[in-house]
Amino acid sequence: MGKIVAGIDIGGTNTVIGLVTSQGECLVERTIRTKGEGGFINYILRIVDSVNALSEELGSEYRLEAVGIGAPNGSYNLGAIVDAPNLAWKGILPICSEMESRLNVPVILTNDANAAAVGEMLFGAAKGMKNFIIITLGTGLGSGIVTDGKLVLGHDGFAGELGHTTVDPNGRKCGCGKLGCLETYVSAPGIRRTIFELLASSIEPSSLRSFTYNDLSAKIISQKALEGDSIAREAFERTGEILGLKLADAVATLSPEAIFLFGGLSKAGDLIFEPTRRSMESNLFPIYRNKVKILPSGLQDKNVAVLGAAALGWQHLNL
């Protein structure tokens, strides 16, 4: 009988559940609504039902051995989701114990970016690496850190929030309440803010002058940059400069072998990688220079959230 692990990606709107082999192949998958009738326990029951239904679908050839969950504000140490801003249920949600008692397998939880890091290590481009960082560039900037082959969780299980390191203590207002956090510059909304700053400060013609703030996406900015729009190119340049500066800080702290960029903005390829590499190198303490690779994730086109969550479960089984 083959072993299988469930990977569960909890988002504010949907929850995706997949059954994943030790080779990182997702054999079956389904999506349920995160919000729904009833309270948190009802949500747990709907997940459990889905895991059981997917297991039946696979047949008796496979046996479920563990569950891994990636969730916003998921605490590995507590096995609970703590005050997630985008979920309907507040406070501390003990999701691991509630699922363990119903599925009778170990259930491991962490946040999305940490799960992505474990996914990259087990199934992606970080295979065989023991010291690396993954940066997820989406509506925010998330990060997962691996040192000596293990996820850095820290004292409270919440390590790895590089998106909230400070670029400028008098800088842009961040959703977290602080000023000048990295993710206010380097993320999909961050580059949009940079575009609007550039449109305001320069008088250069740009096709971006015909977009509203609400309509302007990172994808459009990438397209315009590729078409040669100088404002869009300058925005990528500045975004990479700031990312590289803060990655140099991360290197001085952790000395990783590689840093992986994942998600939305990273799909812009050289537009973002090139200025990031250049800026990081020029801000590195000399002993680190020309040693640290900045690479695209190896799971770019896959469901990294489900694979990462499943990788957590697989890592737990193999420890």
* Alpha-helix residue ranges (DSSP H) falling in 31-174: 40-58, 95-103, 112-123
User: Which of 248, 306, 307, 312 contacts a copy of itself by CB under 8 A?
Assistant: 248
Structure tokens at 68: 């891994």
Q: How many residues lie near a copy of itself (CB under 8 A)? A: 44
Please say which residue, 213 or 285, places its beta carbon nearer to a copy of itself: 285
Q: Does 234 sit near a copy of itself (CB under 8 A)?
A: no
Please say which residue, 46 or 316, places its beta carbon nearer to a copy of itself: 316
Bridge-based pairing state of the strands 258-262 and 132-137: parallel
Q: Does 165 sit near a copy of itself (CB under 8 A)?
A: yes
Q: Does 254 sit near a copy of itself (CB under 8 A)?
A: yes
Please say which residue, 183 or 229, places its beta carbon nearer to a copy of itself: 183
Is residue 32 within 8 A of residue 17, CB to CB? The reply is yes
User: Which of 20, 103, 245, 309 contacts a copy of itself by CB under 8 A?
Assistant: 245
- Measured from the Cβ of residue 42, the count of other Cβ atoms closer than 10 Å reads 10
Please say which residue, 22 or 131, places its beta carbon nearer to a copy of itself: 131
**Residue numbers 185-224 binding a copy of itself by CB under 8 A:** none
Tokens 């997917």 correspond to 54
Q: Exposed e or buried b for every residue in 142-157, given b needs 16+ CB within 10 A?
A: bbbbbeeeebbbeeeb
Please say which residue, 58 or 152, places its beta carbon nearer to a copy of itself: 152
Per-residue CA distances from 198 to 7, 107, 244, 276 (Å): 42, 47, 20, 19
Q: Exposed e or buried b for every residue in 92-125, given b needs 16+ CB within 10 A?
A: ebbbbebbbebbebbbbbbbbbbbbbbbbbbbbb
**Residue numbers 33-92 binding a copy of itself by CB under 8 A:** 73, 82
| DSSP string across 135-180 | EEESSSEEEEEEETTEE---TTS----GGGSBS-TTS-B-TTS-BS
Q: Does 275 sit near a copy of itself (CB under 8 A)?
A: no
User: Which of 47, 250, 306, 311 contacts a copy of itself by CB under 8 A?
Assistant: 250
**Window 140-159: contact mask with a copy of itself (x via CB under 8 A):** -----x-xx-x-xxxxxxxx
The minimum distance between CB 259 and a copy of itself, in angstroms, equals: 11
Please say which residue, 130 or 219, places its beta carbon nearer to a copy of itself: 130
User: Which of 210, 287, 318, 319 contacts a copy of itself by CB under 8 A?
Assistant: 287
| Phi, psi angles (nearest 5°) of residue 137 | -105, 100
Q: Quick one: CA torsion of 45, 6, 139, 298, rounded to 10 degrees? A: -170
User: Which of 160, 189, 298, 313 contacts a copy of itself by CB under 8 A?
Assistant: 160
Contact residues: a copy of itself, CB under 8 A: 73, 82, 130-131, 145, 147-148, 150, 152-162, 164-166, 169, 176-178, 181, 245, 248-250, 252-257, 283, 285-288, 291-292
